[in-house]
Amino acid sequence: MTLKDCKDKCLKNCSCSAYSSLESTGTGTGCSIWFGDLIDLRVSASGQDLYIRTDSSDIDDKNGKIKN
């Protein structure tokens, strides 16, 4: 499963809160999907990205910063 496949799968499920590739280069060896609260997360030694879903109303459209 590629990172794009993982993203598509997450976006099709309203309960999905985040997703990440299981392989640091993103070449498609699998996918992790989170549901509910994101707790007990750790920094990956390989520097993998975690893509978190958020409501668009929580983000300022002009510069992508979170509203205070």
Q: Is 17 left (phi over 0), alpha (psi -120 to 50) or beta?
A: alpha
- CA angle 44/48/54 to nearest 5° reads 105
Helix, coil or strand: residue 32: strand
pLDDT tens figures, 1-55: 888 999 999 999 999 999 988 875 555 578 889 998 888 777 767 677 888 888 7
